[in-house]
Amino acid sequence: MPAGPVKHIGCLVLTATALACGGVPMQDEPAWGIRGRHLTLDGEPVFLSGVNYVPSRGWLTHLDSWDADAVDRDFEGLKRVGVNAVRYLPLWHQLQPTPERADPTSLDRLDKVIELAEKHGLFVQLGILNSWMSGGTFLPSWAHGNLFKDPAIIAGELALVRDLAQRYAGRRALQGFDIGNELNVLEGRMNLDLDSIAVEAWQAQIVDSLRRHAPGSLIVNGVGTGYSESFNIDSIARSTDYMAAHSYPYFHGTSRLDPWLGQRTTYSTNYIVSWAEMTGKPVLMQELGASQQWVPPGNVPKYLRLTFLSNWLEGAAGYLWWCSHDIDPSFAVPDEGLYKEYSTARLQRENKFNELNYDMGILDSDNRPKPAAAAFERSTGIVEELGVDWTNRLPVCYVLVPEGSDYESTMIQLITPFVLAKQAHMDVKLLNEGAAVPSDAASLVIPGFRLSPEGRSQVERYLSAGGTVYQSYFNDFGSSLTVANEEFALDYPRLVVTRRAGAMELEQQLVVGARLRVRAVSASGNAETILSMPRLGQVRLERKEPDTSLFGESAGQGVLFRTRHGSGAYYYLAADLEEALRDTFNPWNDDDSDLIYSVLRPQHPVNVGSKYLELHHKSRNGQELVALLNHSPEFVEAMLHLGTGFRAVDAFTGQVQGGDAETAVRLEPAGVKFLLLQAP
């Protein structure tokens, strides 16, 4: 750490000397770096607690309608509510009206933005080629073409990259460069001819210029609202330092599956972070937000608090809310630089944004804190007090991603198994089919698809070495199971536990809250039946006179089986559980599917008796931390089980919570609780 007096900014630290020198870093090492899943400052891991800066006056066209005092007030207001970093996205056409060089007046004003950020102790992530913003496509007149393949346009882009990199290299307040805001959206908007090879080659040129002219600066590509085939995580990761995730339930569709404070809606932010983490690089939750056009105003701060702290606990490198300030309703977007044919309908007609864009700030346009600001400030305070670099103690479950899949095609398909594993209180990650199963895997989920040859080979190795695998509908490993082609459709079936496993009890009835397709199975050898359907006469089947010779249990048809495979355990569910739940709105109240997934969780001393509560168990320097987050719109009461030899104390008040080994907890909708474990 740097010597001399220090000033705490959230969980970040600045030396007084660096502040006095306008943010110039010490010369013996770069200020910013990467370590594992974290961004670092002076070698220490940090968490960026910030916002995307939308100026309160003049929106992001403010470099033309310049008001330095307004920017000063904006940053002062943001600092008051706990912000330590801003992502700033000056519009490209204002920075570079001609391809040869950046505009001197705009650069002088950009200097002032950086200077004012330094004044208030804020770090700046600076976007460069910002062309897509809030439904509008903004371009310099000379860049109307294929931004990623036209050599003349790319030459102009590189000129701007050079100018900004040289100008701000070494500025300590500059957290790093973002290549541009959601440039992938322009592929569809402008009907550009692109593929991943072209995008990767283009990005490599931009990054190479940044590295030559601003060595040591961190570089990210702010792709959103999800990764695509052309802008895929592997191509982006190869030349950038870390990954960015943008998550809006309204746009990626999970808000049509569950309530806004429901499971798949709120866990969708964790899902996209996990998707980007498959590259092995740190992931910044760079954009997410909630408009009052989507949810009642009272739910916005709850959504912010829940997603902020959940992403921090999951190991994200930071959290940047969209956005800093509401937009004045009277603001009209100027025509200059706006290409209406590539913009949303209202911008084409009225030079106005869609209504959702106006109320997404944590401050209003007069710099007054909104309720979401209090949630942000409290969340940053929690992160500052507890710090980063905790080690996960929960068992890790990997959900397998089918070969050749991209983010857009699998988000809705895989969010349901992701959430079911979270409900079983595991640390859940994604893994590409065909990749070696990591050594920290406690279990692996293959949710309703047949493996490719390479995928089967990798899972075979994992099973043979003693791993635990669950697969639904398709059977790749159960050699003592014979699965028929026919299936039976049942409405909200009740399944009976015929052998205790996981959190299930013998003869317990489980309800699946969706129309389930069940395949007929006969079992032999070492196959054990965990779940069965009742006798055929007690259920309504679509098929007439099913082939009873394929039913493996006298009590009814077996549905969940466990077999040995090598040294490992293979669970096969003869039903399309994940697909059945996928299109069922909020199935969780009348659904016990989390108990099926509980068979994948090995014995662990810490657990909680509610599927609605996200659980974390972490350790650091001899301390043990338990965190609970309520991913539901209702109050939740549950028992927290700690194992023997521990008691829980509130991490902030020090008050003992309940008795030894077990304690009752009650959390409000989207509520959070942090407990430290101590010996009694």
Residue 374 belongs to domain with CATH number = 3.20.20.80
Higher pLDDT, 540 or 20: 540
Cα–Cα dist 125/127, whole Å: 7
Q: What is the pLDDT of residues 39-60, one digit of tens each?
A: 999 999 999 999 999 999 999 9
Final residue before a domain boundary, out of 600, 635, 666: 600
Concatenating the DSSP letter of every residue in 84-137 gives -EEEE--BHHHH-SSSSS--HHHHHHHHHHHHHHHHTT-EEEEESSB-EETTEE
DSSP assignment letter at 598:
G
Q: What is the pLDDT of residues 558-573, one digit of tens each?
A: 999 999 999 999 999 9
| Residue 213, token pair as written in the block | 């002219």
Mean pLDDT of the chain: 90
291 and 372 in a common domain: yes
Please check the confidence at residue 586 and state whether its pLDDT lies above 90.
no
The CATH number covering residue 436 comes to: 3.40.50.880
626 and 541 in a common domain: no
Please check the confidence at residue 546 and state whether its pLDDT lies above 70.
no
pLDDT at res. 535: 59
pLDDT at res. 30: 55
Which pLDDT band, with edges at 50, 70 and 90, does 542 fall under? very low
430 and 354 in a common domain: no
190 and 104 in a common domain: yes
pLDDT at res. 228: 87
Higher pLDDT, 16 or 434: 434
Q: Closest Cα partner for 363 from 381, 345, 375?
A: 375
- As a whole number, mean pLDDT of residues 200-209 equals 98
Give residue 189's domain range.
Answer: 6-386
Final residue before a domain boundary, out of 600, 623, 640: 600
Q: Are 643 and 606 in contact (CB under 8 A)?
A: yes
Please check the confidence at residue 25 and state whether its pLDDT lies above 50.
no
- As a whole number, mean pLDDT of residues 87-108 equals 96
Please check the confidence at residue 288 and state whether its pLDDT lies above 50.
yes
Q: What is the pLDDT of residues 478-506, one digit of tens each?
A: 889 999 888 888 888 999 999 999 999 99
Final residue before a domain boundary, out of 600, 618, 650: 600
Evaluate whether residue 400 is within a structural domain: yes
pLDDT at res. 21: 32
pLDDT at res. 105: 97
- As a whole number, mean pLDDT of residues 220-246 equals 93
656 and 584 in a common domain: no
Which pLDDT band, with edges at 50, 70 and 90, does 446 fall under? very high
Evaluate whether residue 506 is within a structural domain: yes
- As a whole number, mean pLDDT of residues 655-662 equals 83
Domain count, the chain: 3
Which pLDDT band, with edges at 50, 70 and 90, does 19 fall under? very low
Q: What is the pLDDT of residues 603-647, one digit of tens each?
A: 999 999 999 999 999 999 999 999 999 999 999 999 999 987 788
Q: Closest Cα partner for 516 from 452, 587, 602?
A: 587
The CATH number covering residue 639 comes to: 2.60.40.1180
506 and 545 in a common domain: yes
Element containing residue 545 per DSSP (H, E): none
Q: Number of helices and strands (H, E) in the chain?
A: 17, 35
666 and 529 in a common domain: no
pLDDT at res. 8: 32
Alpha-carbon distance values, 426 to 271, 314, 467, 597 (Å): 14, 11, 16, 10
Cα–Cα dist 533/141, whole Å: 66
Measured over the CA atoms of residue 641, residue 258, residue 253 and residue 583, the dihedral's sign is: positive
584 and 513 in a common domain: yes
Evaluate whether residue 222 is within a structural domain: yes
Cα–Cα dist 509/342, whole Å: 54
Please check the confidence at residue 551 and state whether its pLDDT lies above 90.
no
Evaluate whether residue 533 is within a structural domain: yes
pLDDT at res. 550: 38
Evaluate whether residue 144 is within a structural domain: yes
Q: What is the pLDDT of residues 99-126, one digit of tens each?
A: 998 999 999 999 999 999 999 999 999 9
Cβ partners under 8 Å of residue 20, min gap 6: none
Q: Closest Cα partner for 52 from 6, 91, 83, 92?
A: 83
Please check the confidence at residue 13 and state whether its pLDDT lies above 50.
no
- As a whole number, mean pLDDT of residues 264-282 equals 96
pLDDT at res. 596: 98
Please check the confidence at residue 295 and state whether its pLDDT lies above 60.
yes
pLDDT at res. 534: 77
Please check the confidence at residue 185 and state whether its pLDDT lies above 70.
yes
Please check the confidence at residue 435 and state whether its pLDDT lies above 80.
yes
Q: Are 99 and 117 in contact (CB under 8 A)?
A: no
Please check the confidence at residue 464 and state whether its pLDDT lies above 80.
yes
539 and 618 in a common domain: no
- As a whole number, mean pLDDT of residues 327-345 equals 95
Evaluate whether residue 1 is within a structural domain: no
Q: What is the pLDDT of residues 356-390, one digit of tens each?
A: 999 999 999 999 999 999 999 999 999 999 999 89
Which pLDDT band, with edges at 50, 70 and 90, does 424 fall under? very high
242 and 121 in a common domain: yes
pLDDT at res. 172: 84
405 and 356 in a common domain: no
355 and 234 in a common domain: yes
Q: Could you tell me what percent of the chain has a pLDDT over 70? A: 92
